[in-house]
Amino acid sequence: MDTLHDPHEMKEASTASLVAVVAVLIGTALAFTLATGPFTKLLGAGAGAVPAAFHGMMAFLFLFVGTIGLYLGWRLMVGRIRAFADLQLLSVVAATFSFLAIVAGNWLYIYYRAPVPESPRSVFLKTVPEVHKIFFEFKEFGALFTLPLTVCAAFILWRYGAQILDRPWLRYSVAVLMGLAFFYLVVAFGLGAAVTKLRPA
Amino acid sequence: MTTTLIEAKPDSKNVEVAYPPSRRGHLTDGVAVAALMAAVVGMLTLAVVNIFTAASKGFNAWVHSIGKLWMPGAEGIGPYSGKETLALVAWLASWVILGVVLGGKEMKLSRWLIVFLVGVGIATTLIWPPVFEHLAERIAGH
């Protein structure tokens, strides 16, 4: 009897099992977090705590995906990419997170610029106007640039498919788009984090 | 000292399958050029609209009214909602138009990528607050 396993007979993990594992891991992490830190304390006491949590989470996930996208974009540019299908998928995920971060950012912006003396915008304009007039305004427009850049990258990757790999300037274009999207993301993320530390909404 | 050469083994089961060969027909570079130019049109629209909203209160109010037409919470978001709307419309509309016009054309993508980068650079400069406020003051005649 042959005791060696034939690699062809090994079953791959199903998508359902992968989703289940991820759900269990996230659920466990949330349970531990909520058991050790009250939900209201985690979100903060400000009126914009919930949109701030959503915006921050989307931006963080976008940063995570964008960093991998930057690396795969570089691999594509130099023509040494194996995970081309992963880059295709990642570009769509990046565009989705860009969109969600912008939507949540709009929601949070309502609290940021509320016409009351204690809103972050009012406080900044009264104390350090440069924070709003330069850094926040640059951030709010620069962040929007990530959407057309990531959508454009995803479109080219899916529309051309593997043709890109044999066409250098298409590869360079996608790499440039991923790189620029990462740049505007980091600018917006960094300035947003700084503003939040100075005055949470 | 000996040097070890590690070679990739394409037939090995451990090597990730990178991609299947493309079965699609040849697509012209015009499709990519249209997408790139539409993206930069959207970015430039955002930058230019922002300058004029800073220059004119009337235009600023009109831009806000555009946002209020459809965007939830636009009243609280302010004119930013209208700036986003106009940039979005310019981006998507120009993509459709450029896609029709350039879609079937063979173009020199290298040249258009440079045009795209110049456009992104201009848009970035125009959204830098000291720059757009200076331009807005000049437009307003202050």
CA distance A119 to chain B (A): 12
Please check the confidence at residue A3 and state whether its pLDDT lies above 60. no
Please check the confidence at residue A4 and state whether its pLDDT lies above 70. no
pTM for the predicted model, two decimal places: 0.86
pLDDT digits (tens, 9 = 90+) for A109-119: 999 999 999 89
Nearest CA in chain B to A106: B77
With a pLDDT cut of 90, the percent of chain A lying above it is: 73
pLDDT digits (tens, 9 = 90+) for A63-77: 999 999 999 999 999
Please check the confidence at residue A9 and state whether its pLDDT lies above 60. no
Give the pLDDT band of residue A197 (cuts 50, 70, 90): confident
Please check the confidence at residue B24 and state whether its pLDDT lies above 90. no
Number of residues in chain A:
201
Tell if the CB–CB gap between A110 and B31 is shorter than 8 Å: no
Amino acid occupying residue B43 = M
pLDDT digits (tens, 9 = 90+) for B47-97: 999 999 999 999 999 999 999 999 999 999 999 999 999 999 999 999 999
Q: How far apart are CA A57 and CA A34, in angstroms?
A: 16
Tell if the CB–CB gap between A133 and B78 is shorter than 8 Å: no
Does an H or E element contain A55, and which?
helix A49-77
Q: With an 8 Å Cβ cutoff, is A156 touching chain B? A: yes
Among A16-25, A122-131, A192-201, the least confident range = A192-201
Mutation site for B-interface testing, chosen from A87, A89, A141, A185 by largest number of B Cβ within 10 Å: A141
Buried-exposed string B72-111: b where 16+ CB fall within 10 A, e elsewhere: eebebbbbbbbbbbbbbebbeebbeebbeebeeeeeebee
CA distance A29 to chain B (A): 31
pLDDT of residue B115: 98
Q: How far apart are CA A68 and CA A106, in angstroms?
A: 26
Q: How far apart are CA A199 and CA A136, in angstroms?
A: 12
With a pLDDT cut of 90, the percent of chain B lying above it is: 80
pLDDT of residue B14: 44
Among A9-23, A94-108, B32-46, the least confident range = A9-23
Give the pLDDT band of residue A181 (cuts 50, 70, 90): very high
Q: How far apart are CA A104 and CA A185, in angstroms?
A: 15
- List CB contacts (< 8 A) between A103 and chain B: none
State how far Cα A49 lies from the chain centre: 19
Q: How far apart are CA B115 and CA A43, in angstroms?
A: 44
First-residue to last-residue Cα distance in chain B: 75
What are the structure tokens assigned to A14, written together? Answer: 């199903």
Q: Which of B37, B39, B31 is nearest to A163 (CA)?
A: B31
| Contacts for A77 with CB less than 8 Å, ≥ 6 apart | A171, A172, A174, A175
- Mean pLDDT estimate for chain B: 89
pLDDT of residue A92: 96
Q: What is the mean pLDDT of residues A40-66?
A: 86
Q: Which of A130, A142, A126 is nearest to A181 (CA)?
A: A142
Please check the confidence at residue B20 and state whether its pLDDT lies above 90. no
Give the pLDDT band of residue B36 (cuts 50, 70, 90): very high
Q: With an 8 Å Cβ cutoff, is A78 touching chain B? A: no
- Mean pLDDT estimate for chain A: 90
Tell if the CB–CB gap between A169 and B109 is shorter than 8 Å: yes
Q: What is the mean pLDDT of residues A13-32?
A: 88
Q: With an 8 Å Cβ cutoff, is A193 touching chain B? A: no
Q: How far apart are CA A26 and CA A167, in angstroms?
A: 41
Q: B86 by DSSP, 3-state: which?
A: helix
